[in-house]
Amino acid sequence: MTKLRLAIVGAGPAGIYAADILLKTERSFEVSIDLFEHLPAPYGLVRYGVAPDHPRIKGVVNALRDVLDRGDIRIFGNVHFGEDITLDDLKKHYNAVIFATGAVRDADLDIPGIDAKESYGAADFVSWYDGHPDVPRTWPLTAQHVGMIGNGNVALDAARMLAKHADDLLSTEVPGNVYDILKASPVTDVHVFGRRGPAQVKFTPLELRELGELRDVDMVVYDEDFDYDEASKEAIASNKQVKVIDRVLQKWRDRPSANGAGGEASRRLHLHFWARPIEVRTDDEGRVAALVYERTKADGAGGVAGTGEIREIPMGQLYRAVGYFGSPLEGVPFDDHHGVIPNHEGQVLEQDSNERVPGVYATGWIKRGPVGLIGHTKSDAMETIQHLVNDQGDWWQPEDASDGAIPALLESRGVAWTDLAGWHRLDAHEVALGAPEERERVKVVPRDEMVKISRGE
């Protein structure tokens, strides 16, 4: 019987779902799958891109764990594609590869002053508070007034972490260094800016509700933002999600803190709609001093138009959460404009000729861009897997497809790779660290420590 030896690069939801779907797909051949992950631990953005106070993510982690724990997928962690293993290596040992490397960089925002000191990408901030091993252990939370540009879930997550009192994170897996820095933060006001109105936001009702549940934090909305046009009224009437978002915001309009009147909390989180950032003002030392924005209005065609009214809000720190962006991979076509691997329904294409690259596939955010929730990754993977199965005639013919080839290759290159048993060791270690404080776990942050624990060293 024909056997498909498949490599998947990326052990986040996209890669794990793709492996699971292939193994469950009706087919006429056997399957052997190896997952490669550059971090010592699996789960990708579920572990390193979601705020630690999101309990619903436990269900996603449990589902991914169940797939890996079946034992029919091998995982090689702490392996860097392009350095420790290359595309040529994969061609020698596999029939095909799926890239599921996601998107972890911040998209650019092209306005004057955006590169000022104390101006950051929200993705970097998220990686820091989630204990990503490849970012600095410190973060300069020194400003009382902070701005957040963006109206998606990442913007709300990061804004919530800035406004939330650190002690309210102690029941989560927040790393100790992150707690200490958040605890010392002098922040009093967090301002979130969106170009469009309340009926056109990109975040979900759950994220919005969580803001309103923060202890000792006033939610501040402004009546001037709720003069809805007909398109907004139609969206509220016809879309259940928009209707819930509007209901939550309308309740906040009745609070004492509405319109900046001032409530009783020690911190405030302001939502500014119809606000298009146009410049970051800086002080004499080149640090963020204020965000300048133009008030916008609905243009009647689903977009926004400028009003010419310019406003400015003083602040000492600014974050942009305007989207994630993919990173190029050695030897793999890449679309620099969109930050994705060029593809047709997951079949990778040459950038210039648009011709198919045999044996090479993509799934997840590196395939379609950073849109949709985690659940959308499943249907995305199904499309890619369907093509992989149907393209049997285009698979590579490996020189050595034996199970021992990859471990031997990594050993010969001195790669300290981790496996599933190693992840179980690290997982148990983190859970044990959290037990004395009645926390679910405490993340191990330094990469070398993660590797040593995983490898039983």
Which helix (H) or strand (E) is 162 found in, with range? Answer: helix 153-163
Residues 83 and 136 in one domain: no
Does 379 reside within a domain?
A: yes
Residue 55 has pLDDT above 70, yes or no: no
Residue 453 has pLDDT above 90, yes or no: yes
Looking at residue 54, its pLDDT comes to 77
pLDDT digits (tens, 9 = 90+) for 134-172: 999 999 999 999 999 999 989 999 999 999 999 999 988
Residues 77 and 204 in one domain: no
Residues 188 and 113 in one domain: yes
Half-sphere exposure of 195 (CA within 13 A, CB side): 15
Of 286, 320, 354, which marks where a domain is finished? 320
pLDDT, mean of residues 315-336: 95
pLDDT bracket for residue 1 (50, 70, 90): low
pLDDT, mean of residues 227-254: 93
Residues 119 and 76 in one domain: no
Give me the domain span that covers residue 368. Answer: 3-104+326-417
Does 437 reside within a domain?
A: no
pLDDT digits (tens, 9 = 90+) for 62-86: 899 999 999 999 999 999 999 999 9
pLDDT digits (tens, 9 = 90+) for 4-30: 999 999 999 999 999 999 999 988 889
Looking at residue 180, its pLDDT comes to 96
Percent of the chain with pLDDT over 90: 79
pLDDT bracket for residue 207 (50, 70, 90): confident
Residues 154 and 239 in one domain: yes
Max Cα distance, the chain (Å) = 73
Residues 353 and 370 in one domain: yes
Of 276, 305, 320, which marks where a domain is finished? 320
Alpha helices in 291-419 (DSSP H): 365-368, 376-390, 405-412
pLDDT, mean of residues 35-46: 95
Bridge pairing between strands 267-272 and 189-193: parallel
Q: Which of 242, 217, 220 minimizes the C-alpha distance to 231?
A: 242
Does 364 reside within a domain?
A: yes
Residues 84 and 180 in one domain: no
CB 5 within 8 A of CB 95: yes
Looking at residue 29, its pLDDT comes to 87
Other Cβ atoms within 10 Å of 291 Cβ, number: 27
Does 173 reside within a domain?
A: yes
**Residue 23 in 3-state DSSP?**
helix
Q: Exposure of 390 by Cβ count < 10 A (0-12 exposed, 13-18 middle, 19+ buried)?
A: exposed
Cα angle value 219/316/282 (rounded, 5°)? 130
CATH of the domain at 413: 3.40.50.720
Residues 169 and 314 in one domain: yes
Lowest mean pLDDT among 61-65, 176-180, 240-244, 262-266: 262-266
More confident residue, 294 or 59: 294
Residues 246 and 313 in one domain: yes
> How many structural domains are present in the chain?
2
Mean of pLDDT over the chain: 93
Residues 120 and 98 in one domain: no
pLDDT digits (tens, 9 = 90+) for 286-312: 999 999 999 999 987 778 999 999 999
Got the DSSP string for 163-187? HS-GGGGTTTT--HHHHHHHHT---
Q: What is the dihedral of CA 298, 303, 305, 311, to 10 degrees?
A: 80
Residues 201 and 294 in one domain: yes
Q: Which of 238, 200, 231, 233 minimizes the C-alpha distance to 300?
A: 231
Looking at residue 258, its pLDDT comes to 82
Does 17 reside within a domain?
A: yes
Does 374 reside within a domain?
A: yes
Of 285, 320, 355, which marks where a domain is finished? 320
Residues 226 and 261 in one domain: yes
Does 429 reside within a domain?
A: no
Kindly state the DSSP code that residue 260 receives in the 8-state scheme: G
Cα angle value 379/382/384 (rounded, 5°)? 115
pLDDT, mean of residues 164-181: 93
Q: Which of 105, 60, 5 minimizes the C-alpha distance to 366?
A: 105
Does 445 reside within a domain?
A: no
